[in-house]
Amino acid sequence: MELFPAPVLSALRELSALPYENLSKIVAFSQGGNMESTLGLAADWLETSRDTGAGGTCFSLTWWLRQRIRSLGMDCALLMGDKGRALNIHCGLRFEWEGRGFLLDPGYMIFSPLPLPEAGLSAAAWVSPNEVRVEDLPAQGVWRLWSGPRGAVKQRFDFRRKPVTEEEFLAHWEASYALPMMRYPVLNRVREGSQYYLQKRSLLVRTPEGGEMRKLTRAEMMDALQVTFGIPEALARSALDVVVSADRDFFAK
């Protein structure tokens, strides 16, 4: 990737310091707001997020990266991703460079550009601790993203080849506040080649050698949110209060 634009690689590295997290979104939605999608992101969003320890979901991470790329005098296309019948739940960017298309997917914690294959071919890469593969499916009009332990990748998302407009993207962003995943914590982080993924009460820790999953108590989750994901205590506590108020048995399941 030596010939890839260094400023874009630098922006991806900057994003790698942040976790994927929906706690900020859960709290904002509970307070009746979704200013994030309707007003866009402040110019200092990344710096503020680094200072506070918060991060964002795929929409905010992708939007910030697009704005940074455009500020550099380059452009990219907004892509929406589906998972089975769940439409428009993920997003990424198609970036054209030297006559070739690349997928930029910071929302899935992939901070390296992935070549987008054509003519029904596929392209694979090692993004520790996972193998990542992008498959071109011309008949469906999508690029399919696979990832997982080496030799055991799973289908993740289908990125539709046809880009969406900014207005469509913002509408999908706003609609995402009502998705089922807004009812429980979802966090993801990759540090020093290891992945930490939390969904509901289950924490997966994956290294190149293998993975281990366990369920967390509320105290263990508060610790993991702060220590593993770098979430501020106040935000973690507020988000869990919202989750538990909607599901009293959340930590009993």
> Which DSSP string corresponds to 92-149?
EEEEEETTEEEEEEGGGTEEEEEE---TT-EEEEEETTEEEEEEEETTTTEEEEEEES
User: In this structure, which topology does domain 6-252 adopt according to CATH?
Assistant: Arylamine N-acetyltransferase fold (3.30.2140)
Read off the pLDDT of residues 184-203 as tens digits, 9 standing for 90 and up: 999 999 999 999 999 999 99
| DSSP category for residue 164 | B
Q: Determine how many CB atoms are found less than 10 A away from the CB of residue 209.
A: 8
**What pLDDT does residue 42 have?**
75
pTM across the whole model: 0.94
- Can you give the residue ranges of every domain in the chain? 6-252
- Cβ–Cβ under 8 Å, residues 66 and 78: yes
CA distance 168 to 13: 27
Residue type (1 letter), 191: R
For the chain, helix (H) and strand (E) counts, in that order, are 8, 13
Read off the pLDDT of residues 12-45 as tens digits, 9 standing for 90 and up: 999 999 999 999 999 988 888 665 655 567 778 8
- Residue ranges, the chain, pLDDT below 50: none
**What pLDDT does residue 186 have?**
98
**What pLDDT does residue 48 have?**
82
